[in-house]
């Protein structure tokens, strides 16, 4: 297979712009201008069994629409079309049960917005600052450098251990970029344990983005911009099933794609249930397409690589199925709105930023996409 690349260690640092509330980051609290939830317009409050509370807000009054670029934005409730691609599940040696994130039940015409227990979660900060303030990062994954109009990926759901009182983060993430240096637009989605953002150490589904000109990193509803359309799931939703070592395996399919008509960037689950979209007007560099994509594990934070922050299942990639985390069925969307497997060696790379802490194994190119095992325990004292 791709032996020539087997040991290629790639630099995975350029894209690591997730939200981390480390020292040096300035915060905007809800009281200060932005992101004041219109509680007056909440039509229903839903508390899930896990304790999470959602406000069901009129879809046309969601805070996101207050973004200056979205004045007069007309909400698109459904993608104009769905990408073309094999949606059949081929016969796998192994198969995981699918996690269903759509567990909330807001009334028609409303969307759920998670009430974050930590007040003032608007993480508004500068990427300049992030690069220079000693945030440690590690990543293990696959990179693609070429035109990207979307992607689909199947993520094995684990709950990596992250210290509850830390500002560290462990994620399995996919993202698409375009731009150069600081001036890069980024959109991404995945699952993450992020105690300083969520207030707990459970694994949740999140989205994040950077508007390259603003140089601001945003997650979920912490900034305006991402338009929710689903009344059944929301950014920040807790995943109700997690894989067990040597036990049942759970997975989640995430799709991101550019609407060929409206050029909005959609996020849907494996059953094509749209969560929402980044309106195209938000971006300068992602206007037409991405030129870079990443899939894999990311650990980041002030003490991320100096303490034991797990990635994936917390076990090294070589342990294999039911023990290490697996990511697979990675495909990219091409200019003709069709999912294809990226096979061009010159555009693909895979590796880990530090193989002492986190490894990858069994990278492979199958007809249904790219895949690999990844992860590790982090620094073990």
Ligand X SMILES: *[C@@H]1O[C@H](CO)[C@@H](O)[C@H](O)[C@H]1NC(C)=O
**Helix, strand, or coil (residue 68):** helix
**Helix, strand, or coil (residue 130):** helix
Shortest Cβ distance from residue 297 to ligand X (Å)? 15
What's the rounded Cα separation, in Å, for the pair 102 and 84? Answer: 23
Q: CB nearer to ligand X: give 89 or 335.
A: 335
Q: CB nearer to ligand X: give 331 or 334.
A: 334
Q: Are strands 97-98 and 250-258 parallel, antiparallel or unpaired?
A: parallel
End-to-end alpha carbon distance in the chain: 36
Q: Does the footprint of ligand X cover residue 356 (CB under 6 A)?
A: yes
Q: Does the footprint of ligand X cover residue 230 (CB under 6 A)?
A: no
Q: Does the footprint of ligand X cover residue 51 (CB under 6 A)?
A: yes
Interface positions, 91-150, toward ligand X (CB under 6 A): 117
Beta partners for 150?
257
Q: Does the footprint of ligand X cover residue 201 (CB under 6 A)?
A: no
Q: Does the footprint of ligand X cover residue 8 (CB under 6 A)?
A: no
Q: Does the footprint of ligand X cover residue 43 (CB under 6 A)?
A: no
| Alpha helices, DSSP H, located in 32-118 | none
Nearest to 243 by CA among 319, 167, 308: 319
Nearest to 289 by CA among 255, 337, 346: 337
**Helix, strand, or coil (residue 375):** strand
Binder among 234, 357, 360, 372 for ligand X (CB under 6 A): 357
Scanning 85-93, 106-114, 148-156, 328-336 for contacts with ligand X by CB under 6 A, the matching segment is: 328-336
Rounded to 5°, the CA angle 367-370-373 comes to 130
Q: Does the footprint of ligand X cover residue 199 (CB under 6 A)?
A: yes
Scanning 56-64, 72-80, 267-275, 330-338 for contacts with ligand X by CB under 6 A, the matching segment is: 330-338
Judged by CB under 6 A, how many residues of this single chain contact ligand X?
12
Scanning 61-69, 282-290, 332-340, 359-367 for contacts with ligand X by CB under 6 A, the matching segment is: 332-340
Lookup: tokens for 320: 């294999």
Q: Which residues bind ligand X (CB under 6 A)?
A: 51, 117, 199-200, 305, 334-336, 354, 356-357, 379
């Amino acid at each position: 297979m791709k032996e020539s690349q087997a040991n290629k260690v790639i630099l995975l640092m350029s894209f690591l712009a997730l939200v981390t509330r480390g020292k040096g980051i300035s915060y905007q609290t809800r009281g200060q201008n932005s992101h004041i939830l219109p509680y007056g317009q909440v039509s229903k409050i839903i508390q899930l069994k896990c304790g999470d509370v959602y406000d069901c807000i009129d879809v046309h009054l969601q805070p996101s629409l207050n973004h200056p670029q979205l004045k007069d934005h007309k909400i698109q409730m459904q993608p104009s079309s769905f990408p073309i691609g094999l949606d059949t599940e081929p016969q796998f040696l192994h198969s995981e049960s699918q996690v269903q994130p759509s567990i909330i039940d807001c009334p028609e015409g409303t969307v759920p917005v998670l009430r974050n227990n930590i007040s003032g979660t608007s993480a508004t900060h500068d990427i300049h600052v992030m690069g220079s303030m000693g945030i440690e990062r590690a990543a293990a994954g696959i990179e693609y450098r070429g035109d990207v109009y979307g992607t689909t990926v199947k993520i094995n759901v684990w709950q990596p251990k992250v210290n509850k009182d830390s500002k560290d983060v462990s994620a399995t993430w996919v993202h698409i970029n375009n731009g150069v240096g600081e001036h890069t637009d980024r959109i991404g989605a995945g699952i993450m344990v992020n105690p300083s953002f969520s207030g707990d150490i459970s694994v949740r589904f999140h989205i994040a983005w950077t508007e390259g000109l603003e140089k601001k990193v945003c997650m979920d509803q912490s900034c305006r911009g991402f338009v929710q359309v689903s009344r059944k799931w929301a950014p920040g939703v807790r995943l109700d099933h997690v894989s067990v070592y040597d036990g049942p395996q759970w997975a989640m399919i995430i799709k991101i794609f550019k609407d060929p008509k409206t050029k909005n960037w959609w996020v849907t689950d494996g059953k094509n249930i749209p969560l929402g979209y980044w309106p195209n007007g938000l971006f300068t560099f992602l206007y037409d397409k991405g030129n870079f994509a990443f899939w894999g594990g990311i650990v980041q934070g002030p003490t991320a690589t100096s303490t034991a922050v797990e990635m994936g299942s917390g076990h090294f990639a070589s342990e294999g199925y039911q023990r290490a985390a697996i990511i697979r069925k990675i495909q990219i969307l091409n200019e003709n709105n069709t999912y294809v497997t990226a096979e061009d060696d010159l555009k693909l790379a895979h590796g880990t930023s530090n193989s002492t802490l986190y490894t990858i194994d069994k990278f492979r190119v199958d007809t249904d996409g790219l895949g690999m095992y990844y992860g590790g325990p982090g620094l073990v004292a």
